[in-house]
Structure 1
Amino acid sequence: MARQKSYKAVLHSVTKGFEAVEDNIRIDLPRNPRNHRQIDHSQYLGAGFDAWAIQSIYVIRALLQGGNFSVSTLIGYSVNGLRFFIAFLLGGALDSPPATPNNLDKRHLERFVSWLKLKYPNGSTAKNYYTSFKSLVIVLGEYGFIEADLKDVLPPNPFPNNAKNTNDADPFSMGEMQRLLSALKSDLIAIHKGNFVGNGAEAMSVLLFITAARSGINTTPLLEMARDALVPHPFVPNLRLINTIKRRGKGAQSKTIRQTNLFDEYNTIPLDGVAVLNKALEISKPLVALASEEISSYVWLYRSGQQGGENKIVTLTGGALYVCAKSICERHTLQDDQGERLNLTLSRLRKTMESRLWKLSGGDILEVSSVMGHSPSVADNHYLRMNDEIKADGATFVGEAFPDKLRGIDVTPTPPGGCKDTLYGNKAPKDGVNHCAEFIHCLGCPSYAIVGTLEDLHRLFSYQQFLYAEIEYFLTDEWESWRKRQYSYIRLIDDFTSRKFNGDLVSQARAKAKMAPHLFWAKKIEFMKKKLGGVI
């Protein structure tokens, strides 16, 4: 059995006194979304709990130097965790409060939980503060400052049914989303023409909100997006990939140090979203050379505009985004469906996109979670709200155009089936000249139509053959989630056709597609096979 490393031998012992700790009780922080410049535990010294302040700062510094934890997470250990626990200890709720982490026991934490619940009775605030402190306790234990088995120290499930008490923001309704995007579009036009009335922060916020609405990226990865994040999609010409960094914890365990790994995540974004992101890059390009080294690689740069620092180059933060979102909604007098001022946040945009994906996937939760990049349980608990609009809409595979409605109606043939309006359909250019070419997205488009002829079904099953070929082409591990999505589309095609059309007709069309796929898809399949075989 491998010998376990003793972290006690690495860190200074605090049992020998606290001499000369003032210089080591603060940590200067790198650039971070929470905009904190320093973690300072000197404020906790002299109150009888110096060991908590010193040992916590040691482990936080060690984790920061290790590089596997986000700065925001470590700030939370101190600001949301230790700060409130020290306040609890100073409040006199315990007759014999634990002077050191090693004196901590389950009874202390149970009282702390009760204190938090009384202080923050609504929402998830109490749970969030406890979770931050719990994570700090686990790290203190792993570094040897708590000798007891953490299973005997941590209370089991101190916040049962917390999700029922949490008032998360709902996704936007379709009406709210339409009003919001209309306002953002008018601002985008003004930015493009050079007559936008807002300041630099607002202009960048408009571009960021549109990018968020088109990509669904989380707040921190979006704010930290690098200038070289946009890359070509490996196969689909009408899409681009945005490469962002997201930190994911594996979950706290009592016998291993909690790790937070860094993942490169790829989010697809259509070309209209790419144009908006390129506009942000164009506007901020002259500011790169003037920005500090720690933010010069970021996308969302602008001139501060604050008195005395008008020429200082800064980047969007969560706080600045909150102020700008409020200003945008007030300037356009945006209201929600109840007539109140619209509350615009990135989390609501993400939840709205996820709800839309839920519709397009026919309610397949696994499909939605694979697209959005998190586990099914996270999607189910935090994003997919079964509001009345979703229940009423139903989200069928073919959008608005049901087969029984389309019999006898003229439908324009397309490679995956048909379209009720290739010039002015949902994804068409709508310029009266150019026909829609977004064939990859037909199955999720409300203008998609299929009337159940052999020719229509042959085109649909030819597209299915293309999906199979794509899966074989992209076999590396990083495409696993994407392959799951493709398989779900394959299943959707099988399920839909078996329910809607004659079985003999379906079998005939399927066999024809396998033998001789529609020329459009056959050429793409042939190209992939040649490239895979090294012919080209």
Structure 2
Amino acid sequence: MARQKSYKAVMRSVTKGFEAVEDDIKIDLPRNPRNHRQLDHTKYLGLGFDAWAIQSLHVIKALLQGGNFSVTTLIGYSTNGLRFFINFLSGGSVKSPPATPNSLTKSHLDRYVSWLRLKYPNGSTAKNYYTSFKSLVVVLAEYGFIEVNLDDLLPLNPFPNNSQSTKDADPLTLGEMQRLIGALKSDLIAIHKGTFLGNGAEAMAVLLLITAARSGINTTPLLEMKRDALQPHPFIPNLRLITTVKRRGKGAQSKTIRQTNLLDEYSAIPLDGVAVLNKALEISKPLVALAPDEISSCVWLYRSGQPGRSNDIVTLTPGALYVTAKSICERHALQDDQGNRLNVTLSRLRKTMESRLWKLSGGDIIEVSSVMGHTPGVADNHYLKINDEIKVDGATFVGEAFPDKLRGINVIPTPPGGCKDSLYGSLAPKDGVNHCSEFIHCLGCPSYAIVGTLEDLYRLFSYQQFLYAEVEYFLTDEWGAWRKRQFDYIRLIDDFTQKFDLALVSQARAQAESSPHLFWAKKIEFMKKKLGGEI
């Protein structure tokens, strides 16, 4: 269970009744990316389901005050979760609808799922509405408004194979990304010169899109970024950290971004620099004192320009960003590879960055997911789409690196070399989602594969360096048998690599000794610091 805390001790006893909170059925919301100002459940009263309206808003208010959930998520509990469930209950689709959350049964939820499937047969809409309502049911149970065991209440996998009927936005191809960055760069130069022809929202959108392309930060944390988010990097002088808050999952996140200088007068402005974010801070600084208190700490401030409120200070929202990104693409006549107008969203930019990292890491999904701040399973399911461009890259690699008899065999790069199947190999979880991470045992696994390229051998010798470091780390007598096994692996690597080109082997070994693969280098560095008393 993700949340173990019992909230009942701080709540009024309203498990079966709801009169105690009857008058409190509106919530004024803080500033949020969805631009909702209030949640009002009075519209649900008088339909026979008042308890749902009142108790749901009560727990949403409690979660809002707790601060561990984004406002956007809590808005979804009401607008996507409760609203459609109330429509289902009041539409006569079930003979004995549950008047209170505590009278909800699994049969009701099964009927609701069927209703959603009929009403929204295409795409992921039905699943999204159900997921929001399920989350609301879970918190209602945590706060004591539902007393039945959730395992007996919630249907198991009500939308199987949903991913087959939906299509996520694809990452931008290399050509699409190059065209977009070229357009953004020209706009950035114009902003720096003071000759930008777009409005304030477009100028901020240009700076935000560049920041998104260089950092890979999620939409909501990026839009909610605070003005003090940019911090010095603790170790590397020419890097900076961007700190944002992602309430779901790991909380605060730090992203590394390269620090560069503005060179010449206008022309050479590196796109991978914090100069872009600094420019946004510079442009919006005069607006801070004029902005409402709730948004004065935001980065992406601009004058509204709307009739009747042209001088109002606002900040970018998802809706405003959608409009401005579309306008930028139309102004530059940007097209995708099929000749249609290019569609740019922050999720596509994030997936593009992740796919690029995937390629740069040689397919090491564990390392990529740690950089992007989520689990390997999430990365594989939602971000690392193997598009045609990556397939072409793979085909080129195979054609150059494999002898003819091995052509067509799919070997996936791993830190010690390669794997024939990282999803269903001998030591893999075999669940179709999670890639194998048992890298310590690769050499003894029948799925291990290596074809003798420089990159393959470099990874293998990097692992050998890790084995040497481990032997030095565990020097006490009780580890004698274990150290013998490690030396056996070290000798096995030496013997195994004799079959490859000696010059290539020497080059890979020297590279691994001087600069091991990052995956193993971090582990070696940790052991050395631990051994030296630095940690």
TM-score for the superposition, normalised by structure 2: 0.72
Secondary structure at 2:254 match in 1: strand
1:92 aligns with 2:92: yes
CA deviation profile, 1:145-166 (whole Å, cap 9, x unmatched): 1121111111111011111111
Equivalent in the alignment of 2:342? 342
Counterpart residue number, 1:303: 303
**Distance verdict in 2 for CA 1:13–1:499, change over 3 Å:** farther
Output one character per residue of 1:164-191: Cα deviation in whole Å (capped at 9) or x when no partner.
Answer: 1111111111111111111111111111
Aligned residue in 2 for 1:263: 252
Aligned partner of residue 243 in structure 1, secondary structure: strand
The letter for the 1-side match of 2:11 is V
Counterpart contact for 1:359–1:394, Cα < 8 Å: no
Q: Go from structure 1 to structure 2 and tell me whether the alpha carbon gap of 1:341 and 1:464 turns closer, same or farther (over 3 Å shift).
A: same
Aligned to 2:324: 324
Percent of residue pairs identical: 72
Could you tell me how far apart the structure 2 residues matched to 1:122 and 1:347 are? 21
Q: Residue 14 of structure 1 contacts residue 55 of structure 1 at CA under 8 Å; is this kept in 2?
A: no
Partner of 2:219: 219
**Structure 2: 5+ residue stretches without partners:** 261-271, 402-453, 471-492, 517-523
User: How far is 1:221 from its partner?
Assistant: 0.9
Distance 1:511 1:4, change over 3 A: closer
Check whether the contact 2:18–2:55 (CA below 8 A) recurs between aligned residues.
Answer: no
User: 1:15/1:237 Cα in 2 relative to 1: closer, same or farther (>3 Å)?
Assistant: closer
Q: Which residue of 2 aligns with 1:425?
A: none
In structure 2, the CA distance between the partners of 1:227 and 1:163, relative to structure 1 (3 Å rule), is: same
Match of 1:315 in 2: 315
List aligned pairs for 1:116-127, cutoff 5 A. 116-127=116-127
Match of 1:115 in 2: 115
Tell me if 1:176 matches 2:176.
yes
CA contact (8 A) 1:362 1:396 kept: no
Deviation at 1:16, TM superposition (A): 5.7
Q: Alignment partner of 1:34: what SS? A: coil
> 8 Å contact 1:231–1:243 — kept in the other structure?
yes
Q: Is the 8 A contact 1:8 1:143 kept in 2?
A: no
Could you tell me which amino acid in structure 2 is paired with residue 262 of structure 1? G
Q: Aligned in 2, Cα 1:379/1:40: closer, same or farther, shift over 3 Å?
A: same
Residue in 1 that maps onto 2:285: 285
Inter-partner Cα distance in structure 1 for 2:381 and 2:303: 39
Q: How does 1:9-408 map to 2 (within 5 A)?
A: 10-11=11-12, 13=14, 18=19, 21-22=22-23, 24-249=24-249, 262-269=251-258, 271=260, 272-394=272-394
1:55-80: per-residue Cα shift (whole Å, max 9, x none)? 11111111111121111111111111
Distance (whole Å) between structure 2 residues aligned to residue 170 and residue 309 of structure 1? 37
Please state whether the residue corresponding to 2:274 is helix, strand or coil.
Answer: helix
**Residues of 2 paired with 1:284 and 1:264: CA distance?**
23
Q: CA deviation at 1:21?
A: 2.8
2:387, 2:5 → 1: CA distance?
Answer: 51
1:408 aligns with: none
Letter of the 1:351 counterpart: K
Aligned residues: CA RMSD = 3.9
Q: TM-score, normalised by structure 1?
A: 0.72
Deviates most, 13-22 or 240-249: 13-22
Whole-angstrom distance in 2 between the partners of 1:512 and 1:54: 65
Write the distance in 2 (CA, Å) between the matches of 1:512 and 1:262. 38
1:320-353 CA-to-partner distances (Å, cap 9, x unmatched) read: 0001011111111111111111111000111111
- State the alpha-carbon separation in 1 of the partners of residues 61 and 218 from structure 2: 26
Q: Secondary structure at the match of 2:290?
A: coil
Q: 1:501 to 1:196 in 2, by over 3 A?
A: farther
Q: Partners of 1:75 and 1:500 in 2: how far apart? A: 62
Q: Which residue of 2 aligns with 1:486?
A: none
Relative to structure 2, which stretch is displaced further, 13-22 or 358-367? 13-22
Q: Residue by residue, what CA displacement relative to the aligned partner does 1:69-124 show, whole Å, maximum 9, x if unpaired?
A: 11111111111100000011111101111111111101111111111111111111
- Once the two structures are superposed, what CA deviation does each residue of 1:2-57 show, in whole Å capped at 9, x if it has no partner? x99672882253756748834x1001111111111111111100111001001111
Which amino acid is the alignment partner of residue 223 of structure 2?
Answer: L
Q: Following superposition of structure 1 onto structure 2, how do residues 422-461 of structure 1 map, counting pairs within 5 Å?
A: none
1:123 counterpart SS class: coil
1:427 counterpart residue number:
none
Structure 2: which amino acid aligns with 1:247?
Answer: R
Compared with structure 1, are the counterparts of its residues 25 and 393 closer, same or farther at alpha carbon in structure 2 (3 Å cutoff)?
same
Conserved? CA contact 2:84–2:129, under 8 Å: yes
Q: Distance in 2 between matches of 1:147 and 1:239?
A: 52
- Relative to structure 1, is the Cα distance of residues 510 and 389 closer, same or farther in structure 2, using a 3 angstrom cutoff? closer
Q: In structure 1, give the amino acid aligned to 2:65.
A: Q
